[in-house]
Chains A and B, each alone.
Chain A
Amino acid sequence: MAKNDSSKGPDGLTHRLLSTGALDLQEMLEAIGVDSVDRLFECLGDLALDRPFDLPGPLSDGELREYFQRLDAMNRVPGRDMVSFLGAGAYRHDVPSAVDHLLLRGEFLTVYTPYQPEVTQGTLQAIFEFQTLVSLLTGLDVANASLYEGASAFTEAVLMADRIQKKRKKVVVSRTIHPQYRAVLRSYAKNLDLEIVEIGWDARGATDAEALAAAVDEETICVAVQSPNYFGVVEGWQTAAEVAHEHGALSIAVVAEALSLALLESPGAAGCDIAVGEGQSFGLPLSFGGPYLGFLATRDKHKRAMPGRLAGQTVDSEGERAWVLTLSTREQHIRREKATSNICTNQALCALGATIYLSLYGKRGLRRLAEVNLQRAAALRRRLVETDGLSAAFDGPVFNELTVRSAEPVARVLRDLEEAGVLAGVPLGPDYPELEDCFLMAVTEANPPADVDRLLRALEERTHHQEPAAV
Chain B
Amino acid sequence: MSMSYPSDYLYSKDHEWLRVDGDTCVLGITEYAQEELGEIVFVDLPEEGDRFSAADEVGTIESVKAVAEVYTPVSGEVVEVNSALEDEPELVNDDPHGDGWLVKLRMGDKGELDGLMSAEKYEEFLSSGEE
Asked if B55 is at the interface (CB within 8 A of a chain A CB), the reply is: no
A304 near B67 with CB under 8 A, answer no
Contact status B44-A329, CB under 8 Å = no
Interface size class of B (residues with CB under 8 A): under 10
CB pair A335 B42 closer than 8 Å? no
| Cα(A254)–Cα(B131), bound, Å | 48
Cross-chain contact A334 with B66 (CB below 8 angstroms): yes
A335 and B67 within 8 A (CB)? yes
Chain B interface SS verdict (over half): strand
What would be 12 A-B contacts, judged by CB atoms less than 8 Å apart?
A: A166-B47, A304-B42, A304-B44, A304-B62, A329-B62, A329-B66, A329-B67, A334-B66, A334-B67, A335-B67, A338-B67, A338-B69
Interface secondary structure of A, over-half rule: helix
- The number of residue pairs between A and B whose CB atoms lie closer than 8 Å in the complex comes to 12
Distance in angstroms between the alpha carbons of A269 and B24 in the assembled complex: 45
Most chain B CB atoms below 10 A, which of A166, A329, A338: A329
B residues in contact with A304, CB < 8 Å: 42, 44, 62
Interface residues contributed by chain A, number (CB under 8 Å): 6
Binding site for A on B (CB under 8 A): 42, 44, 47, 62, 66-67, 69
Q: Mark A318-358, 1 if CB is under 8 A from B, else 0.
A: 00000000000100001100100000000000000000000
Question: Considering the complex, which residues of chain A in the window 286-340 have a beta carbon less than 8 Å from any beta carbon of chain B?
Answer: 304, 329, 334-335, 338
Chain B neighbourhood of A338, CB < 8 A = 67, 69
In the complex, given contacts A166-B47, A335-B67, what are 7 additional A-B residue pairs having Cβ atoms less than 8 angstroms apart? Answer: A304-B42, A304-B44, A304-B62, A329-B66, A329-B67, A338-B67, A338-B69
A334: which B residues are within 8 A, CB to CB? 66-67
Q: Which residues of B contact A329 (CB under 8 A)?
A: 62, 66-67
Measured CB to CB, the closest approach of chain B to A450, in angstroms, equals 57
Q: Which A residue's beta carbon lies closest to that of B69?
A: A338
Question: In the complex, what distance in Å separates the CA atom of A338 from the CA atom of B44?
Answer: 14
A166–B47 alpha-carbon span in the complex (Å): 10
CA distance A270 to B34 in the complex (A): 42
CA distance A338 to B59 in the complex (A): 12
When C-beta atoms are compared, the residue in chain B nearest to A335 turns out to be B67
How far apart are A286's CB and chain B's nearest CB, in angstroms?
Answer: 40
B55 to chain A, nearest CB (A): 16
Chain A nearest CB from B42 CB (Å) reads 6
- Per-position 1/0 for A44-69, Cβ under 8 A of B: 00000000000000000000000000
B88, chain A: closest CB distance, angstroms: 16
Chain B nearest Cβ from A202, distance in angstroms: 37
Instruction: Please indicate the chain A residues that have their CB under 8 angstroms from the CB of B69 in the complex.
Output: 338
